[in-house]
Structure 1
Amino acid sequence: MARRWRPTGLAALLILIFGWVAGMAPAQTSAVPAVLVADDIQVTRDRRLIARGNVEAFQNGTRLTAQSIEYNPDTGALTITGPIVIDDGAGTRILANQAELSNDLQNGLLTGARLVLNDQLQLASVQMNRVNGRYTQLYKTAVTSCHICGDDPRPPLWQIRAKRVIHDEEERQLYFDHAQLRIRNTPILYLPRLRLPDPSQDRATGFLIPELQSNSRLGTGLRLPYFIKLGDHRDLTLTPYIANNTRTLEFRYRQAFKRGRIIFEGALSDDELQPNDSRGFLFGAGEFNLNRDFVLQFDIEAVSDDAYLNDYGYFNKDRLDSQIQVSRARRDEFIRLSYINYKSLRDDEDDAVLPSDVLEALYERRFFPKAVGGEIRLTAAAHAHERASRLDFDANGDGVVDGRDVLRFNVDAEWLRSFQLGGLQVQTRLGVAGDVIRVSDDSIFDDGDSGIAPKAAVTLRYPMVRQSASGVRQHIEPFVQFGWVGGDGLAVPNEESTRVEFDEGNLLALSRFPATDRRERGWAVALGGTWSRIDPNGWSASLTLGQILREEAQTDFSDTTGLSGTTSDFLLAGQMKFDGGLAVSGRTLFNESFDVAKAEVRGDWSNDRLDLGGSYIWISEDPAIDLPSPIGEFTFDGAYKIDRFWTANVDWRYDLEEGRAATAGAGITYTNECVRVGLSINRSFADSTTIEPSTSLGVTVSLRGFSAHTGERVETRSCGKQAR
């Protein structure tokens, strides 16, 4: 029968074992109670403590098992006979056949020892020494994170063989002497000295996963990132990229502050694509919490030339925006002040005649007066944009003067109130807006214009709900809105509202222009309805249908907006979700003749092994917004889990009007508990004077076990017929 021993006298020395495994000093743990269980426990006349047979010791979640433990008070030696297993409950285990330790456990020797770190990395050695309570030295060591079957004669997929390995518990680092990297049992790389972080490290200085890449324009090259820990709150990553036609240094700097954080990334290149130019880019962003709930945000985007980002595959942006903004959001108040600078990378755009500098200010406040009920909203806004050009000339013939600058001020006050009449819901709006717009460097519009716009609206809804015995719930809600906006339209150029979208989000708005440089005027009626079906055990769907009827047409709406004329196009939007993982959503605008102005559809299907997605977009031609021909595009993306370890993915974007692919890519990845191998190929079919088609091939190999957990689910191979 097993006997239980609580630590008094010599038995308390067992607690030191747990302090050693957990990296704590003995003095910190000597007062913590431990429990020793064995088939036989005795104290001899010469004060030796001997525990034999199925020995187990427990303390603070740490567990030690052995065949016997003997303590000699005369020599201070602690002898443990195995098989020995010490588990701290946090992922670190020590396995050994025999152990001789000093009485303070700061020094000692273990034979036939194996150290397992973070339940991931295994270090098997002939001999293990404990030195000064901090260092663990392992001799003739094999290191791997691959699952090893005891009866499998084959070596692990990869391993690092070393003459000596030192584990520094304080710095959480592994130091290798005379290290060999072996694939199966074939040496492929020798390093006289090697340092790697142990798996418990979140951030440690050292090399990251390299990537072998082949590009049709840059050639074949290698990216070798090196991570530098500059402290607990900042780091720098330098990535040399050496290929046939380029010498590039990529970098990323991150720092966290008490009240914010920043990140900067970029690259510097000397390549054969533009041999006489230094090329590069710099992107940065940051956010800081200021006093009185204000937040400062900024981002910087700069590039040496228009084609650089595409040549190296960094970003797909064709317009860069750098911004600094201060804002504050409270329950009943919002304040924002921002400055934005734009730079175009498009062939057909000249930065000098684009409104590249934009300054905006916005203040919103709402009140809930008890005297009149409802809600009062007050808004004040200012906007200014400037072009670098000073020419008073319409060079492109599109109505935009090359040097035109605009300054705009708007104020708005609204009173909103809702009430119920039986099953009828009534929402009312009453307000007035004032607009002042000043134009400079444009002789056509002189100094601009100003005006007042009173407005009112009443919205009626009649929601109806039906629920079946099976739990299916259906909701139908017809609605109609009567709206009016007075005043005359301002005699100013259309600078900000050239691209208008009509969707279910602004179906009941009094003005659907994206900016307040212009407003819809006169009487309008918005009518339509929504329907939804919710089945907790089956398919669910929602649908919205609406249309706008006006007293008079709005001249600033182009044909593709669906809002031109006194009768708008029909808006139809909806989505469906099925129990099998299929989801479809879409939106379209069409007239009484079913001529479609815009259409978009997105579908996704997902299950345990397959993820598929695709979308279709179509916009009819509209010369008023520089669209001389229709836009039609189809995109597809998918991933397929071939088995527990292999995953394939593909993406494709096809231009239906041009009749050719725009981009295409495919990849395959193998991942298990000890290695991740990825192969990818991407093709860009871009066609312009600054961007040329290119093909890139990438290969990455990552040895798992030396990096922090990413949250990715990893399948572990098993022993037996299904192994590997």
Structure 2
Amino acid sequence: MRIVLLVTILTIWTFPFKVLAKQVNENKIPVLLKADEVEYDRELSLVVARGNVELIQGKRILTAQTVTYNQKDDLMSASGDVAILNPEGDVVFADHAEITGDFKNGIADNIRLLLADNSRAVAFSGRMSNGKITKLRRGVYTPCQSCEGIKGVPLWQIKAYKIIHDREDKTIEYQDAFMEMFGIPVAYTPYLSHPDPTVKRRTGLLPISGGNNSKLGTFARIPYFVEIGTDKDITVELISTTNGGQILNNEYRQRFASGIVDLDFSGTVTDIKPKTAGASNQVEGKNKPRGHLFGHFRHHAKENLRARGDIRLSSDDTYLQRYSFSNDTVLENNFFVEAFDNDSYIAANTYLWQDLRPNNRQGDMPIVAPFLQYNYVSPLTRSGGNLEIDANFTALTRTNGTDSRRISVRSAWNQRAISTSGHLIGAFAMLQTDLYQASQVSKKNQNSDDTSSGFAGRIYPRVGFEWRYPLEKILGTTSLQLEPIAGMMVSPRGGNPALIPDEDSQAFEFDDTNLTSRNLFSGRDRVEGGQRLYFGLSGATYRPSGYSSIFFGQSYRLNNDDTFPSGSGVDGKLSDYVGRVMIRPSLPLDIIYRFQIDQDTLAFRRNSVFINAGPPALNVQLDYNLIDVNSGSASLPNREEISVRTTSRINESWKLRSSLTHDLTNKFTSSQSISLTYICDCFNFDVSYNRSFVQDREIEPTDTVLFQLTFKNLGTFNL
């Protein structure tokens, strides 16, 4: 018969557990005893519990087959499947244990320790001290579970003369320790310590990585993490190279109740090689201080009021690429504050850029401060109409070139209706009012020395109408949808005075996304004049297993408009054809295809293909882009490029990845890489090779081999 006795009752009615009773009085925590059989010898002051014995005090639990308690010595002897569960979550197993009545001190034979993350340690014997420290003699520790090496031996383990687990300090220490991999000793240290699994972050060394770069030579990255407080930390990383000097790279992080700050900065003193012939803006010399500062902060003052800042600065043009911090050639800095509610939005922005490209002058880059934005959208009326207001003030300053100030207000009334037969009708009436003050505006082109200055204004009315007729047919579980689209935009011709500089509308691109837009230009500085008709057809099929869609369209202008770049596809009356195809079946396949076809020659001016195919066992991603030389885009010069990325999950542990980018126009490979990764529950191995073909002043084509080993609980480990 199973017996359950509270120690407080036992001390009064049955047998005097004096020490346990004392514990109850001191700690106010009763001890619960469960056993199949309990005997008490009054002469020897012994209590013997047999069969499925459990002793429970608070969050500490002892289980065994037999427990003998000596009242005089205040000592419990436990044998047979002994297990002690500590409040911290770790469990001590043993064949036999001698434990004091307060559970805090004891010795054990053939001891096994199971930690909170299922890491394990075993030893011939062990000692528990003060309820917080477990000392193992001649022990072995490993966090590996399914990650096995040769003949069932863990992939890696630590053998030590002493292993000490301090639950109060949350540390595991080793004395005279050997690290073994596949059962073979590979390293020795007289002392080693690391946080136990309950610790999420603590000051210490992070995993070291290293490799070889054809220009920097052999390198090693040695990061050290410092926990400054519960809300802040810093990682200091020494990057040591044989040919490129020593770099100190740092990351500071801090979290507030209403935001975060993250700073990434580095520095070194090294030589800058002579500039490449023709490059006009490269610093050179010996023992030059170099570095970078990247950072961002977020602050949520209220639910609808927040601020953000992003900083990206470099000491010179080539530092970031030389030391593989970033491949960006233009660095954007932005600070803004925004507030919003259900109907309106207001923001204040500041932008500035650092230009790292060869032969570009920093003085040509604008500083935008301030950039003020206000938007309002009224609720829909019963008739389906609403009011939109979009106001903007921008101040743009350069040390070389055009300066401008702009006030712009757009107001529009939108009306929508659905006929009884399912026709969707939309109409709008818009008025854009702009006032500019500009200086040194080029009269002919951006590189002209013939400039003018002064004030310019513009009142630009525009009305539009759109018709859609969505149709659907259900065939079993398949939905077939077809939607013809037609619309018209009407406004006065012209509307772009010569004194209005084009700052935000240079990157013009005609495609399926803006065919039906109110203004083909993305910005405010250029407006579309005259009358334009557009028409298109979209279709889609939806099945439980996936869907596919297609769109095809074109536009027609009543008059030519020389505002659009030559070759843009809309510089004549009849535009190029634009379209989009999307295919997403149930198979692991995703295809997105966009195109622009010359309406006269039917030649492709733009082709953009993205394919994502295959399961994790073999996944292939392909990007293909073709931009014709006469596409008219100022920001996207003619090019034909293909990128291929593959990922192969060979099995649960091995992953192979590769990538290749090839310039088909200039017939050269711009980058290629391959990496092999081994991942298991306690170990991460990664080796990669990267070939960069970038050539820019001191930057030359390089080959980089990177090698990294990560051991769980000895540093950062993320699967």
Equivalent residue for 1:349, pick from 349, 360, 364: 360
Cα distance in 2, alignment partners of residues 75 and 359 from structure 1: 80
Query: Contact between 1:248 and 1:269, CA under 8 Å: does it hold in 2?
Result: yes
Query: Contact between 1:202 and 1:707, CA under 8 Å: does it hold in 2?
Result: no
Cα distance in 1, alignment partners of residues 465 and 111 from structure 2: 81
Equivalent residue for 1:102, pick from 90, 100, 103: 100
Query: Contact between 2:384 and 2:416, CA under 8 Å: does it hold in 1?
Result: no
Cα distance in 2, alignment partners of residues 219 and 11 from structure 1: 75
Letter in 2 for 1:338: N
Match of 2:289 in 1: 278
* Secondary structure at 1:49 match in 2: strand
Cα distance in 1, alignment partners of residues 468 and 217 from structure 2: 63
Equivalent residue for 1:244, pick from 242, 257, 264: 242
Query: Contact between 1:166 and 1:175, CA under 8 Å: does it hold in 2?
Result: yes
- Over 3 Å counting, the alpha-carbon distance change for 1:117 and 1:292 in structure 2 is closer
Match of 2:255 in 1: 256
TM-score scaled by length of structure 2: 0.89
Query: Contact between 2:321 and 2:327, CA under 8 Å: does it hold in 1?
Result: yes
Query: Are 1:146 and 2:153 matched, yes or no?
Result: no
Query: Are 1:40 and 2:48 matched, yes or no?
Result: no
Letter in 1 for 2:323: Y
Query: Are 1:670 and 2:678 matched, yes or no?
Result: yes
Query: Contact between 1:162 and 1:177, CA under 8 Å: does it hold in 2?
Result: yes
Query: Are 1:294 and 2:305 matched, yes or no?
Result: yes
Letter in 2 for 1:476: L
Match of 2:17 in 1: none
* Secondary structure at 1:341 match in 2: strand
Match of 1:611 in 2: 619
Match of 1:431 in 2: 430
Quote the offset at 1:3 in angstroms. 1.8
Query: Contact between 1:202 and 1:708, CA under 8 Å: does it hold in 2?
Result: no
Cα distance in 2, alignment partners of residues 269 and 482 from structure 1: 60
Query: Contact between 1:265 and 1:283, CA under 8 Å: does it hold in 2?
Result: yes
Quote the offset at 1:86 in angstroms. 4.0
Match of 1:180 in 2: 178
Match of 2:19 in 1: none
* Secondary structure at 1:66 match in 2: strand
515-524 or 444-453, larger mean C-alpha shift: 444-453
Equivalent residue for 1:359, pick from 355, 370, 380: 370
Within a 5 Å distance, the mapping from 1:52-71 to structure 2 comes to 52-55=50-53, 65-71=63-69
Cα distance in 2, alignment partners of residues 579 and 27 from structure 1: 67
Letter in 1 for 2:577: F
Match of 1:689 in 2: 697
Match of 1:702 in 2: 710
Letter in 1 for 2:593: G
* Secondary structure at 1:411 match in 2: strand
Letter in 1 for 2:337: V
Query: Contact between 2:592 and 2:611, CA under 8 Å: does it hold in 1?
Result: yes
- Over 3 Å counting, the alpha-carbon distance change for 1:125 and 1:628 in structure 2 is closer
Equivalent residue for 1:307, pick from 318, 329, 350: 318
Cα distance in 1, alignment partners of residues 571 and 70 from structure 2: 97
Match of 1:498 in 2: 506
Within a 5 Å distance, the mapping from 1:102-251 to structure 2 comes to 102-147=100-145, 155-245=153-243, 246-251=245-250
Match of 2:579 in 1: 572
Query: Contact between 1:379 and 1:411, CA under 8 Å: does it hold in 2?
Result: yes
Letter in 2 for 1:604: N
Query: Contact between 2:348 and 2:373, CA under 8 Å: does it hold in 1?
Result: yes
Letter in 1 for 2:69: Y
- Over 3 Å counting, the alpha-carbon distance change for 1:154 and 1:613 in structure 2 is closer
Equivalent residue for 1:478, pick from 484, 498, 501: 484
Equivalent residue for 2:465, pick from 458, 471, 475: 458
Cα distance in 1, alignment partners of residues 483 and 58 from structure 2: 61
Cα distance in 1, alignment partners of residues 633 and 484 from structure 2: 34
Quote the offset at 1:670 in angstroms. 1.3
* Secondary structure at 2:602 match in 1: coil
Cα distance in 2, alignment partners of residues 686 and 225 from structure 1: 28
* Secondary structure at 2:510 match in 1: coil
Match of 2:543 in 1: 535
Gaps of 5+ in 2: 12-22, 274-285, 442-449
Query: Are 1:661 and 2:663 matched, yes or no?
Result: no
Quote the offset at 1:370 in angstroms. 4.7
* Secondary structure at 1:95 match in 2: strand
- Over 3 Å counting, the alpha-carbon distance change for 1:560 and 1:176 in structure 2 is farther
Query: Are 1:680 and 2:688 matched, yes or no?
Result: yes
Quote the offset at 1:330 in angstroms. 2.4
Gaps of 5+ in 1: 13-24, 390-402, 713-724
Equivalent residue for 2:592, pick from 572, 575, 585: 585
Cα distance in 2, alignment partners of residues 39 and 152 from structure 1: 44
* Secondary structure at 2:321 match in 1: helix
- Over 3 Å counting, the alpha-carbon distance change for 1:357 and 1:462 in structure 2 is closer
Query: Are 1:522 and 2:520 matched, yes or no?
Result: no
Letter in 1 for 2:701: P
- Let me know the Cα RMSD of the aligned residues: 2.8
* Secondary structure at 1:441 match in 2: strand
Cα distance in 1, alignment partners of residues 242 and 414 from structure 2: 66
349-358 or 663-672, larger mean C-alpha shift: 349-358
Query: Contact between 1:248 and 1:267, CA under 8 Å: does it hold in 2?
Result: yes
Match of 2:447 in 1: none
Query: Contact between 1:687 and 1:693, CA under 8 Å: does it hold in 2?
Result: yes
Cα distance in 2, alignment partners of residues 222 and 179 from structure 1: 25
Match of 2:15 in 1: none
Letter in 1 for 2:682: C
Letter in 1 for 2:115: L
Match of 1:444 in 2: 451
- Over 3 Å counting, the alpha-carbon distance change for 1:690 and 1:150 in structure 2 is closer
Total equivalences in the alignment: 682
Cα distance in 2, alignment partners of residues 669 and 151 from structure 1: 17
Query: Contact between 1:328 and 1:336, CA under 8 Å: does it hold in 2?
Result: yes
Cα distance in 2, alignment partners of residues 143 and 44 from structure 1: 41
Quote the offset at 1:437 in angstroms. 1.7
Letter in 2 for 1:195: S
Cα distance in 2, alignment partners of residues 345 and 332 from structure 1: 41
Query: Contact between 1:228 and 1:235, CA under 8 Å: does it hold in 2?
Result: yes
Quote the offset at 1:122 in angstroms. 1.5
Quote the offset at 1:590 in angstroms. 0.8
135-144 or 307-316, larger mean C-alpha shift: 135-144
* Secondary structure at 2:215 match in 1: coil
Quote the offset at 1:619 in angstroms. 0.5
Match of 2:335 in 1: 324
Cα distance in 1, alignment partners of residues 382 and 4 from structure 2: 78
Cα distance in 2, alignment partners of residues 643 and 584 from structure 1: 26
Quote the offset at 1:650 in angstroms. 0.4
348-357 or 589-598, larger mean C-alpha shift: 348-357
* Secondary structure at 1:256 match in 2: strand
Query: Contact between 1:11 and 1:49, CA under 8 Å: does it hold in 2?
Result: no
Quote the offset at 1:690 in angstroms. 4.3
Match of 2:77 in 1: 79
Letter in 1 for 2:219: G
Query: Contact between 1:26 and 1:104, CA under 8 Å: does it hold in 2?
Result: no
Quote the offset at 1:131 in angstroms. 1.8
Cα distance in 2, alignment partners of residues 149 and 440 from structure 1: 69
Cα distance in 1, alignment partners of residues 504 and 379 from structure 2: 33
Cα distance in 1, alignment partners of residues 606 and 25 from structure 2: 75
* Secondary structure at 1:120 match in 2: coil
Query: Contact between 1:621 and 1:627, CA under 8 Å: does it hold in 2?
Result: no
